[in-house]
Amino acid sequence: MFRQQARFYVNARAIIERPGAAGREVLLQQRQKPGEARLLEFPGGQLELFEGMTDALKREVREETGLTVTGFLDALNETRRSTRQAEVQCLTPSFVYQTLRGPVDSVGFFFRVTAEGELTRQGDHAGNHQWIALDDLRQRFDATPEHFDWLTQGALAQYLQQGRE
């Protein structure tokens, strides 16, 4: 009898912020993975085996947007502990998530960051990058949440509730 292996994903995702003419803006992109809906999402993705969370975040942002993460907007409070058996990184992200039901089983970390560089037209399974003013984002999310992927819907609910200005 064939038994499907369960997959568990660990992700790092970026809420890239910048000042704009209408106030704070965040970067969203359109997912462009074959066989998946082209919905809006935050940049980010899977950690590689034994890859640090912030290293994964920086790599994923670069691969998907062409931008380089230049700073973290929340204090990371990072500590590392090395023993003969392992090295462990502990830090404080902006917030974490866990899927309790859905298309994949995953846990992940969202970080509020700044970034610079040239946005690519097409990144790794991502495109149509757009800076959206926070007030516009709230209105779009309230009016048409279905334009955002399921994970981004959860993240936006948390992010907008935190109301950082």
- Checking if the pLDDT of 59 tops 70, the result is yes
pLDDT at 33: 77
Span 8-158 CATH architecture = Alpha-Beta Complex (3.90)
> pLDDT grade, residue 152 (50/70/90)?
very high
**Per-domain residue ranges for the chain?**
8-158
Question: What residues are paired with 27 via a beta bridge?
Answer: 131
pLDDT band for position 26 (cuts 50, 70, 90): very high
* Per-residue model confidence as pLDDT tens digits over 70-90: 999 999 999 999 999 999 999
Least confident of 8-12, 100-104, 144-148, 150-154: 100-104
CB 148 within 8 A of CB 39: yes
Are the C-beta atoms of 126 and 64 separated by less than 8 Å? yes
Please check whether residue 43 is in contact with residue 27, taking contact to mean a CB–CB distance below 8 angstroms: yes
70 near 34, Cβ under 8 Å? no
Residue 140 has a pLDDT of 96
If one counts every other C-beta atom within 10 angstroms of the C-beta of residue 99, the result is: 16
Token pair listed for 118: 């040239």
For 143, residues 6+ apart whose C-beta sits below 8 A from its C-beta are none
**Which tokens sit at 36?**
């998946």
Cα R_g (the chain), whole angstroms: 16
Q: Give me the pLDDT at residue 6, please.
A: 67
**Average pLDDT estimate for 115-133:** 90
84: tokens are 């003969």
